[in-house]
Amino acid sequence: MTQILLGQSYYLRFDPKLWEAMQPYPPLGTLYAASWLRQHGYDVALFDAMLAESEDDWAKSLDEHKPKYAVVYEDNFNYLSKMCLLRMREAAFNMIHMAKSRGCVVILCGADATDHFAEYLAQGADYCILGEGEETLIELLNQLSEGKDAGNIIGVASRYTVQVTRRPDLTDLDKLPFPAWDLIDVEKYRNIWMKRHGYFSMNMVTTRGCPYHCNWCAKPIWGQRYNSRSPENVVAEMKWIKENFAPNHIWFADDILGLKPNWIEKFAALLQEADAVIPFKCLQRADLVNEKTASALAKAGCKTVWIGAESGSQKILDAMDKGNTLEDIYNAARLLRENGIEVGFFLQFGYPGETWDDVQKTLKMVRECAPDDIGISVSYPLPGTKFFERVKLELGEKQNWADSEDLAMLYRGPFPTEFYRILHGRVHYEFRARRVLKQPSLRGIASAPRNLAGLIRSEIQLRRFL
C-alpha cells in the first residue's frame, strides 16, 4: 500500500493534434511534487497520464497502489494545463470519482483547480490547492496525517473553507530536489521519440513565472512573480541528466529563459566547463535578445528559440500590452539566425480590434523574418486576465476549447470561428511553400503543388468574409 499516488489529467491520447505530432514530455511539475514529498518522508507512487490510454489506467494504478491520498497535481509547466482543455477537465473529474469510490482523500492542484476550485470540490475533491503547490501540499498532508483540522491552511480550499487565501511562492528554487525521474518510464519516451523523430528530447525548467504584463496571458499559479534557479543548480541537473539518460535534446519549459542579467552568459560558461552541453530549445522575449545573449545562447548549445511574436501590427501588440516593438521581433530573428539558432514564432489572431489589414501585416512579418517554424492560435480568454474581463460579457456557454485543435472563437471576435480555421491553414500553406524555396528537399518539392493549391483556395475562402 502506497501512502500517496500522484497523477495529472493531461492525456496526450485525448488531444488529436498533439497525439499526431507525438512529441511527449513527462509531467515535470508532478515530478517536482513527487521528489519534494519524498524529501519530506512520504511514500510516493506516480501515475503518468501523458502516455496513458484513458482514465481507466488511473483506476488500475489506484487498485495497484491502494493509496490513502490521491493527488491530481497538474504539470503547470505544460501550457495546455493553463488553457484548461475541456476534455482534460472531464478526465480530472473522472479521476476524482474513481479515487473517491476507493476511499481516497482526494487533493487537486493546478491552474484550472485554482480558477474553478468550487467545480472540483462539487465533483468530490476534498481539497484544492491554490497556486504553487509544494509547500501547501506538505502542510496539508502533515495536518491530515496527524488527524488535525486542515481548514485554516493558507492556500487550501475545501467545502468547509470560509475564506480562501494564497500562500507566498517559493523564492529559493535551488532548495527543490531534482524531479523524480525514476518514477517515469524514460525508455518508453525515448523509444517514441527515436522512432518518430530520430532523437530523444527531455524537459527541464529553470524558472517559475513571468513578470511581464501581456493582458491575455493567464497567471493563476505565479501571478506576476518570477523566480529563478541559479545557473550552477541548473548545470548540475543538466550534467546529471546527460550522464544518466544521454538525451539528444532538452526543452526548457520556462516562460522566459534567463531573464536575470548575465544569467545566460554564466550558464553557457558553466555548461562548457562541466561538459554538460546538450542541444536545447527555449522561449525568449524579442526585446531581451541582443548580440550578447544570442551569442551566449549559441555557446550554451541552443538550437531553437521560440518568440511570442503574436502580431505584425504594432497597434495589436500595443493593445495586448506586449511591451515590445516590431523592430524588436525583426532584430531578434536576425541576431539569432546570425548565431546559428533556429527561430520559431508564436502567432495569435483574432485579438479585439484586429482588421484584415492587421492580418496582412502579420503575414508580411512572417515572410520577411522567415522563421524556421510557426505556431498559430486565436486569442483565448482565460480567467484572471484583463482580456477576459474585457470580453466576458460576450462569452457563451462554451468558455474553453475541447482540445488544442479546437480554434473556436469563444467571444465575438473580429471574424467568426470559420474564418480563423481557414486562416490557420492559409498561413501554414504559405509558410510551407516558402520553406521549400528556402530549403529544397524531395519531400518538400513533392508537397509544393498541394501547398500552392491550398494557399489559393484558402485565400479565396477568406475573402468571402471581407
CA–CA gap between residue 350 and residue 356 (Å, rounded): 10
Q: Tell me the C-alpha distance between 300 and 341, whole Å.
A: 11
Angle ∠(400,208,311) on CA atoms, nearest 5: 55
Q: Sorting pLDDT into bands at 50, 70 and 90, what band is 166? A: confident
Q: What is the DSSP letter of 183?
A: G
Backbone angles phi, psi at 58, to 5 degrees: -65, -40
Query: What is the residue-averaged pLDDT of the chain?
Result: 94
The mean pLDDT value for 297-308 works out to 98
- pLDDT-based confidence at residue 1 (cuts at 50, 70, 90): low
User: Per-residue pLDDT averaged across 157-181, rounded?
Assistant: 87
For residue 162, the model assigns a pLDDT of 58
pLDDT in tens, 430-450: 999 998 887 777 776 778 889
Burial of 216 per CB tally in 10 Å (0-12, 13-18, 19+):
buried
Give the DSSP H/E element, type plus range, for residue 29. helix 28-39
Give the pLDDT of residue 226.
Answer: 92
Would you state the cell numbers that stand for residue 232, as one nine-digit string?
A: 550552477
Beta-strand (E) ranges in 138-265? 156-157, 201-204, 207-209, 226-228, 249-252
What residues have CB less than 8 Å from 361, skipping those under 6 apart?
311, 312, 313
C-alpha cell at 256: 522566459
Per-residue pLDDT tens digits for 43-79: 999 999 999 999 999 999 999 999 999 999 999 999 8
d(CA 189, CA 197) in angstroms, rounded, equals 12
- 251: helix, strand or coil: strand
Whole-angstrom Cα distance, residue 119 to residue 121?
5
CA distances from 3 to 46, 68, 118, 436 (A): 11, 5, 26, 55
Task: Give 167's DSSP letter.
Answer: P
Band of residue 282 on the pLDDT scale cut at 50, 70, 90: very high
| Helical ranges in 198-321 per DSSP H | 231-245, 263-274, 291-300, 314-319
The span from the CA of 193 to the CA of 170, in Å, is: 33
Distance of CA 279 to the CA centre of its chain: 20
Phi first, then psi, for residue 307 (nearest 5°) are: -120, 135
pLDDT (tens digit per residue) in 203-255 = 999 999 999 999 999 887 887 889 999 999 999 999 999 999 999 999 999 99
144-148: average pLDDT? 92
Q: For strand 105-109 and strand 127-129, is the pairing parallel, antiparallel, or unpaired?
A: parallel
Percent of the chain with pLDDT over 70: 99
Q: Tell me if 348 sits within 8 A of 378, measured CB to CB.
A: yes
CA-based end-to-end distance of the chain: 63
Q: Which CATH architecture has domain 4-157?
A: 3-Layer(aba) Sandwich (3.40)
Q: Which helix (H) or strand (E) holds 27?
A: none
Cβ(50)–Cβ(24) under 8 Å?
A: yes
pLDDT given at position 222: 82
Cell of 202: 527531455
Greater confidence, 118 or 436? 118
Q: What 8-state DSSP symbol labels residue 392? A: G
pTM: predicted TM-score of the whole model, two decimal places: 0.94
Q: Which of 291, 216, 279, 219 is nearest to 255 (CA)?
A: 219
Average pLDDT over residues 449-466: 95
